[in-house]
């Protein structure tokens, strides 16, 4: 297979590619033609079918895998394919991994690194909320690992959201080391969750485009709603000594203006029952 990034002006093309986009248009002279964008894991390429009614042009739509025969030309400084023939391909003729851009880093290794940071969060409430997303919610985990961080601006590939989130979290972890005044648990939790809404704002590959809800709301509002739903499902109970560290107990006691041992005492009304 020849990848899109390797083509140059004058090359012939005769390989299977993913059709990312297709639309019909009309020239100034009233002649119909098709605009097409083909894709593999290295990028995309604009293409034209100037004679869509030709017997060699099979019926196909965006989202299909097609075998393309044509010539690569240069138009306004950009490469373009003049498609002569198209054959619709069937499942089994192609490997989807060759057509979807993917992170060069190991996705499972990155996720393990993220989980290690989550385990280091001492605040019991923030830790519970992070676990609800990144340990317990299997559907969210699958979507998070596969999502891109954007359409094209940055990390626009499978695993892009995870790679971006991990890099931002590590950067925040460095700042916490350099500036101890920062609230580490809160900052790292914010870093880990800052883009979780993109799992719903942007559709999964191969489409990788904004969903209707994503266009109307945006990932920030969607993330806020996701966090709200999760924390409402978290059971709030009296903190038990075995579930928290002494450091956390002292912080909570200071905030509540009480002694650490008072955190586990039942309310007076409860003790009288």
CA distance 262 to 241: 11
Half-sphere exposure of 28 toward its Cβ, with a 13 Å CA cutoff? 0
Question: Among all chains, which residue has been given the structure tokens 């990312």?
Answer: 20
How many of the other CB atoms lie within 10 Å of CB of 138? Answer: 8
Residue 74 has pLDDT above 50, yes or no: yes
Mind listing the pLDDT tens digit for each residue in 97-109? 788 888 889 999 9
Select, from the ranges 67-71, 156-160, 213-217, 252-256, the one with the highest average predicted confidence (pLDDT): 67-71
The pLDDT, as a whole number, for residue 85 is: 95
The pLDDT, as a whole number, for residue 203 is: 83
Mind listing the pLDDT tens digit for each residue in 8-19? 999 999 999 999
Q: What is the pTM of this model?
A: 0.65
Mind listing the pLDDT tens digit for each residue in 189-210? 999 999 999 998 888 777 777 8
CA distance 46 to 79: 7
Mind listing the pLDDT tens digit for each residue in 209-218? 788 888 888 8
Residue 257 has pLDDT above 60, yes or no: no
CA–centroid distance for 149 within its chain? 5
Question: Among all chains, which residue has been given the structure tokens 């593999």?
Answer: 40
Burial class (CB in 10 A: 0-12, 13-18, 19+), 179: exposed
Q: Which CATH homologous superfamily contains domain 4-98?
A: Nucleic acid-binding proteins (2.40.50.140)
The pLDDT, as a whole number, for residue 81 is: 96
Greatest extent of the chain over all pairs of C-alpha atoms, in Å:
91
CA distance 103 to 84: 33
Which residue in 72, 45, 46, 69 sits closest to 58, CA to CA? 69
Residue 252 has pLDDT above 60, yes or no: no
- Mean pLDDT, all residues of the chain: 85
Confidence of residue 251 (pLDDT cuts 50, 70, 90): low
Mind listing the pLDDT tens digit for each residue in 12-38? 999 999 998 999 999 999 999 999 999
Q: Domain spans of the chain?
A: 4-98, 107-236
Residue 240 has pLDDT above 80, yes or no: no
């Amino acid at each position: 297979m020849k990848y899109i990034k390797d083509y140059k002006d004058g090359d012939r093309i005769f390989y299977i590619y993913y059709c990312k986009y297709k639309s019909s248009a009309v020239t100034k002279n009233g002649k119909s033609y098709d605009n097409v964008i083909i894709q593999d894991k290295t990028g995309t390429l604009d293409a034209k079918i100037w004679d869509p009614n030709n017997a060699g042009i099979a019926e196909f739509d965006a989202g299909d895998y097609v075998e393309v025969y044509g010539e690569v030309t240069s138009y306004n400084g950009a490469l373009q394919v003049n498609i002569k023939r198209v054959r619709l391909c069937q499942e089994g003729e192609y490997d989807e991994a060759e057509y979807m851009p993917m992170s060069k880093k190991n996705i499972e290794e990155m996720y393990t690194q993220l989980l290690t940071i989550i385990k280091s969060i001492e605040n019991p409430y923030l830790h519970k909320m992070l676990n609800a997303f990144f340990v317990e919610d299997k559907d969210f985990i699958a979507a998070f690992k596969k999502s891109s961080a954007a359409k094209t601006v940055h990390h626009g590939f499978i695993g892009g959201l995870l790679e971006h989130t991990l890099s931002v979290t590590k950067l925040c972890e460095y700042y916490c080391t350099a500036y101890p005044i920062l609230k580490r648990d809160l900052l790292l939790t914010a870093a880990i969750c800052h883009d979780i809404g993109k799992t719903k704002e942007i559709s999964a590959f191969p489409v990788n485009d904004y969903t209707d809800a994503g266009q109307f709301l945006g990932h920030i509002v969607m993330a806020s709603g996701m966090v709200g739903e999760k924390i409402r499902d978290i059971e709030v109970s009296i903190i038990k000594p075995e579930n928290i560290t002494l450091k956390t107990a002292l912080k909570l006691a200071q905030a509540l203006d009480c002694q650490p041992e008072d955190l586990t005492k039942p309310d007076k009304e409860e003790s009288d029952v």
